[in-house]
Structure 1
Amino acid sequence: MFRHRPLHSLSTCIRKDILSEQGSQLRPFSHSTGAMKSHDWNYQDELFQFTRGRFLYNERKQFLQREVRFDMNKLAQIAVELLGAQRCEQIQKFPDGLFNKAYLFTMDDGQEIVGKVPNPNAGIAHYTTASEVATLDFVRNTLNIPAPRVLGWSSHSANNPVGVEYILMEKVAGVPLEPFWRVLKPVKKLEVFMKIFEYQKRLSGVVFPRIGSLYYASDLSTFDQAPPLVVKVNGEPLELSNFSIGPTVGQGWFSDGRETLGFQEGPWADVLEYRRAIASRELHCIRELHARKPMQMICGPKLYQPTSARKVKALELFQAWLPKLIPASQPELLEAYLWHNDLHAENILVNPEKPTEIMGIIDWQSTEIAPLFELRTAPSFLGYEGPAIDDKLEAPVLDKESVNSAEENARVIKQHNDSAIMTAWLRLLKKKDPKQYQAYRFQQTMPGTILHISQNIFEMGEAHLLSFLLQQQKQAGSGAPQLSISTEQARVIEEDAQLADKSFDLMSQIRDQMGDAWPDKGLVDHQQYQQAKEDLSLAKEDIATLLDLSNQEKMELERYWPFDQ
């Protein structure tokens, strides 16, 4: 228990993705389409509800945002007709996504097809599904990236018999890379990432003229007036007459209530226009919505305490600095690319008999066309969580001299191997696709960091944004925008940043101590729910003890605590 392990001495432990363990488990519902009403798929509540785990914050609301009701029998019948089968014998639900549900339909003749529907929290009606279908088509048929083949779809729930937007697609052979990646030898990991790099290089070879998301031209209301979409493929123009760029479907525009405010989601002609729109979005949210308590930090007495006024101040100062922060001297970083920005090991499907063979890349929902300097050119499947790797890209040295236990030895070896893999990836980028490497490097700079954290100030980050802007002004000299900040205000800004560091560090210690039971994105496995609640409750008591809080301050900590009691 936490009370027996003081927070100031908590050790870092290697975390596993507790939810990915369920990735290969399908929940079967084996009733045929001709079954009696008591066997009607529409009466199987678990098909429509979120059943993957439990939420540790605002659980009822989280479940409602991920429950979607529709006519499953009609969707099964459409699947039957697409495959030319007689009937559907079984429907199995894949583990719930946070923004969608997916099902495996098995026919009487053994054929299989995957069905996917968006959750209510997925984004704008019509656009989210329409963009995903067009994106799958483009990356599969234009770029030869192994994305699923779409067999049937509808982005207008009011105009189809199912009553929901849906996509029916081929079942991609293969299983998630995640469990294999943990145990693959470094040389085999290199084989995998060479193939992933090739796919990313195909994406980075296509420059789009605007920022937004990809659609079929016929799915946008303005397609009659829009000129043909012309992209540059490795520097040469290519007309994509069937496609067009429309509003973004990126989750940053729809999470935590943002979707209720009716923003203009693009497309945008240039980076400055686009980033001003993001800053305006965050300001509007701060003034109109109530932000949820951030789970990445602990706020309260003797820690950082966010205020709307501080958030507004941070964004107003950021807007003054914005033109100077954009990397105008590196025009290749301003160009727009379509990108899979969530390339974790669950979205890479491999041959289970030969896990270095990639069978498919899945989950292209919410894909954006965005400036290169924003994109994740070092994908998350690499699993690197260590310190920044400098531009020398020297091979890491394994230091086991201070190792005192088998557990610590395993940790040191893993950190070394992870660092070696990340270094090899960066060397590959630098040699084979320098612009991807420069995008990664820019993200490590102060301007890159400021641009990154400014996108989510409605939720958190204003203390560091103000501090970084202050540092940027000191370094830039007289030619830079001058922030209207007094000496006293500057002192308070630095104090706030230090308190925010403390708030992040405390939550990080709790996360490391809980290990697999940590509620990533607020979610835990069913079996871990009670234990996670108990651990978090004890952690809260430990924090109160560590900070020596009075009874009144303990009540204040309760008010800021982000998890359900």
Structure 2
Amino acid sequence: MSPRLRPQFIFRPPKLGSFAVARPVSTHHTMSESPELFEYTSGRWIYNDALRHRERKRIFNISELKRLAARAVRQKEEDVVGFEKLAEGGFNRSFLVTMRGSFRFVARVPYPITQPKPLVIASEVATMDFLRSHDIPVPKIYGYSATQDNPAETEYIFMEFVQGKNLGDIWFNLSARQRAKIVTKLVQLESRFFALTFPASGSLYYSSDLPEGDQVILPSQFPTEKARFCIGPDTSLGLWYGKRLNLPVERGPYRDCLEVLRAGAAKEIAYLSKFGQPRQPIQRLRRETYNYQPQSHLEYIATLRQYLQIAPSLIPHGNPTLYRPVLRHPDLQPNNVIVSDDLEINGLIDWQHSTVLPLFLQCAIPNSLQNYGDEVSESLQEPTLPANFNHMELEERYQQAELFRKRQLHHLYVKTTAEINPEHYGALAYDYSTLRRRLYHYASDPWEGDNMTLKANLITLSKNWKDVTAVETSCPLVYPEAQSNECLRLAHAQTEADEQLKICQELIGVGNEGWCPADHYEEAKARERTLKKDTLDAAETGEERTRIEENWIFDDFCEDDYM
């Protein structure tokens, strides 16, 4: 364990009703034209709080944004009677604009950290417009600017305010039957996404927003109409993160599967070749696994080259359906679903960073519904509660009920997909489907000091080479047994460290990156200080205590080296 957090301090599950993992929620409150409109006020982070707030501070000309908003709906600035902060997400701040006559719509402004802004804005707008043209319930676009070269001095999107409840606000209060209804509705919508056809992979745009050489035109629905949409550069966040933003690398549009498979790894090799330095894992609980030694970026470049060597073999040749380009929502989770009182889906929101990818890479169970790593879920058995559930202690019942809920959602999604969207189910069930996707995503992800995860999956591929590729030739990647075993051991240790981090977050009551609602911050910090004190007190040597202090998981640290 790393740093050595003793089981008596972290593996005791929180009692039912004590505190839960925090998650960001929409904030609905009226605000005057004050500096708070430019600041992030929905929550705080228990480490690197000042940095997170700087990343989300966006100053713009409020009066001009209101004027542009009014013009977008063919009204005058004086018709704007309300301008309120509505919600703050990971990449944008949304405002509710109210016009005379009570008509309301949303003005959304990206944070400074949102990249690549011009492409992300243009692509999301075109994606939503394209989906609306196929009767998919997404917000209507009233206007947008993909650059800050306008009187408001910011990029923006003006869009419909979708009436209804945010599913994230009620998800955990729904009955099993109600959740089943929602999952069925989502799968039905996904089947409509899958029915759409695209000539290439990448992201969707208006053809007028891109240079001709950077696009593959989507044929118009009507022969006499000029084509409005195209596939252009891939807006996946990892391709543009940090210093990668200005690298002259291939990002699409991709004409075939191999271009897709190669792009992310080639980008990361270019980044590491120019900016790479040995780094400790950014996830600080992983560092003890490597005795707190920096990991070599050159070693990771070698692993990426090994991935590129086998990338062509990841394509499921002989099954053209699996490499047909498909569009999916980039983050299909409850917070991005608006529902009516009777749980009909009124709208899917937040299409930022949407991509069109080959089906064998795009297929997946949404993160909010999947329960991978669980034997029962992966076997697709019908989940049941333990026979002695009612006789368990309260904490154990809580754990079993939560496990049952996860298994139930996983099973329901797969079962419903098999019935309603068999093409997607076929891709999910295809041989080594998960391994192919993992290799692609791990090779594309920004390097954060982890040299083992991608390599461990390459080792798994090499051990199952003939089953994965259906060829008789030997795998070109050969790993000595001792090296293979050590890599798999380290990868397993990293997984344990990640699980341990989740437990720590739950104990403290924080979410990703240490986020918690602003009014819970002091309580979370107090619990964090207690956890740190208990952990330091449990240190067996002075050296161990020093390591814990230097690598404490909830202390501020410099992130520049990982950008």
CA distance in 2: counterparts of 1:371 and 1:238, whole angstroms = 29
**One-letter identity of the residue aligned with 1:215:** Y
1:373 aligns to 2:360 (yes or no)? yes
**One-letter identity of the residue aligned with 2:135:** N
2:192 to 180, 192, 202: 202
Cα offset, 1:26, TM superposition: 1.8
CA distance in 1: counterparts of 2:223 and 2:180, whole angstroms = 33
In the superposition, relative to structure 1, how do residues 181 and 301 fare at CA in structure 2: closer, same or farther (>3 Å)? closer
1:94 aligns to 2:86 (yes or no)? yes
1:248 aligns to 2:271 (yes or no)? no
Return 75-84 or 452-461, whichever deviates more. Answer: 452-461
Which residues in structure 2 correspond to 1:54-69 (within 5 Å)? Answer: 54-69=44-59
CA distance in 2: counterparts of 1:66 and 1:4, whole angstroms = 36
In the superposition, relative to structure 1, how do residues 430 and 304 fare at CA in structure 2: closer, same or farther (>3 Å)? farther
1:19 aligns to 2:23 (yes or no)? yes
2:542 to 551, 555, 558: 551
CA distance in 2: counterparts of 1:239 and 1:205, whole angstroms = 22
Contact 1:298 1:507 in 2 (8 A): no
Return 477-486 or 179-188, whichever deviates more. Answer: 477-486
Return 395-404 or 64-73, whichever deviates more. Answer: 395-404
1:230 to 211, 219, 224: 219
1:316 aligns to 2:305 (yes or no)? yes
1:161 aligns to 2:168 (yes or no)? no
Return 357-366 or 297-306, whichever deviates more. Answer: 297-306
Which residues in structure 2 correspond to 1:99-114 (within 5 Å)? Answer: 99-114=91-106
Contact 1:211 1:371 in 2 (8 A): yes
Which residues in structure 2 correspond to 1:498-513 (within 5 Å)? Answer: 498-513=492-507
1:343 aligns to 2:332 (yes or no)? yes
Cα offset, 1:93, TM superposition: 0.7
- The percentage of aligned residue pairs carrying the same residue is 25
Cα offset, 1:244, TM superposition: 0.9
In the superposition, relative to structure 1, how do residues 390 and 276 fare at CA in structure 2: closer, same or farther (>3 Å)? same
CA distance in 2: counterparts of 1:374 and 1:13, whole angstroms = 39
In the superposition, relative to structure 1, how do residues 383 and 518 fare at CA in structure 2: closer, same or farther (>3 Å)? farther
Cα offset, 1:181, TM superposition: 2.2
Which residues in structure 2 correspond to 1:24-35 (within 5 Å)? Answer: 25-30=27-32
**One-letter identity of the residue aligned with 1:206:** L
CA distance in 1: counterparts of 2:256 and 2:100, whole angstroms = 52
- 1:261-314 per-position Cα deviation (integer Å, ceiling 9, x unaligned): 354321111121122110012223334156795348532366675432442232
**Structure 2 counterpart SS, 1:333:** helix
**One-letter identity of the residue aligned with 1:523:** W
CA distance in 2: counterparts of 1:495 and 1:5, whole angstroms = 21
1:453 to 442, 448, 452: 442
RMSD: 3.3
**Structure 1 counterpart SS, 2:144:** strand
1:183 to 173, 190, 194: 173
Question: Could you tell me the TM-score, scaled by structure 2's length?
Answer: 0.85
Contact 2:327 2:357 in 1 (8 A): yes
- 1:212-233 per-position Cα deviation (integer Å, ceiling 9, x unaligned): 111111111117x9674239x9
**One-letter identity of the residue aligned with 1:114:** V
Contact 2:462 2:478 in 1 (8 A): no
2:114 match: 122
- 1:314-347 per-position Cα deviation (integer Å, ceiling 9, x unaligned): 2222222222233334432222112102011111
CA distance in 1: counterparts of 2:306 and 2:52, whole angstroms = 34
1:286 aligns to 2:278 (yes or no)? no
**One-letter identity of the residue aligned with 1:153:** Y
**Structure 1 counterpart SS, 2:335:** coil
1:33 match: none
1:393 match: 380
2:38 match: 48
Structure 1 residues without counterparts, runs of 5 or longer: 31-40
1:331 match: 320
CA distance in 2: counterparts of 1:4 and 1:475, whole angstroms = 37
In the superposition, relative to structure 1, how do residues 152 and 173 fare at CA in structure 2: closer, same or farther (>3 Å)? same
Contact 2:289 2:490 in 1 (8 A): no
1:489 match: 483
Contact 2:330 2:352 in 1 (8 A): no
Contact 1:230 1:239 in 2 (8 A): no
CA distance in 2: counterparts of 1:259 and 1:504, whole angstroms = 28
1:152 match: 143
Return 148-157 or 281-290, whichever deviates more. Answer: 281-290
In the superposition, relative to structure 1, how do residues 388 and 75 fare at CA in structure 2: closer, same or farther (>3 Å)? farther
Contact 2:201 2:256 in 1 (8 A): yes
**One-letter identity of the residue aligned with 2:329:** H
Contact 1:147 1:360 in 2 (8 A): yes
Structure 2 residues without counterparts, runs of 5 or longer: 467-471, 557-563
CA distance in 2: counterparts of 1:96 and 1:371, whole angstroms = 32
In the superposition, relative to structure 1, how do residues 313 and 371 fare at CA in structure 2: closer, same or farther (>3 Å)? same
1:270 aligns to 2:259 (yes or no)? no
- 1:389-437 per-position Cα deviation (integer Å, ceiling 9, x unaligned): 5676332222141642244334433432442332122112122222212
Give the aligned length.
539
**Structure 2 counterpart SS, 1:316:** helix
CA distance in 2: counterparts of 1:237 and 1:80, whole angstroms = 35
Return 526-535 or 184-193, whichever deviates more. Answer: 526-535
**One-letter identity of the residue aligned with 1:528:** H
In the superposition, relative to structure 1, how do residues 194 and 500 fare at CA in structure 2: closer, same or farther (>3 Å)? closer
**One-letter identity of the residue aligned with 1:426:** V
CA distance in 1: counterparts of 2:30 and 2:164, whole angstroms = 19
Cα offset, 1:155, TM superposition: 1.6
**One-letter identity of the residue aligned with 1:77:** R
1:298 match: 286
1:430 to 400, 410, 418: 418
In the superposition, relative to structure 1, how do residues 262 and 117 fare at CA in structure 2: closer, same or farther (>3 Å)? farther
CA distance in 2: counterparts of 1:543 and 1:132, whole angstroms = 45
**One-letter identity of the residue aligned with 2:139:** P
**One-letter identity of the residue aligned with 1:508:** K
- 1:3-26 per-position Cα deviation (integer Å, ceiling 9, x unaligned): 896157433789956234x32x32
**One-letter identity of the residue aligned with 1:527:** D
In the superposition, relative to structure 1, how do residues 417 and 65 fare at CA in structure 2: closer, same or farther (>3 Å)? closer
1:37 match: none
In the superposition, relative to structure 1, how do residues 148 and 270 fare at CA in structure 2: closer, same or farther (>3 Å)? same
In the superposition, relative to structure 1, how do residues 10 and 440 fare at CA in structure 2: closer, same or farther (>3 Å)? farther
Contact 1:83 1:111 in 2 (8 A): no
In the superposition, relative to structure 1, how do residues 294 and 406 fare at CA in structure 2: closer, same or farther (>3 Å)? same
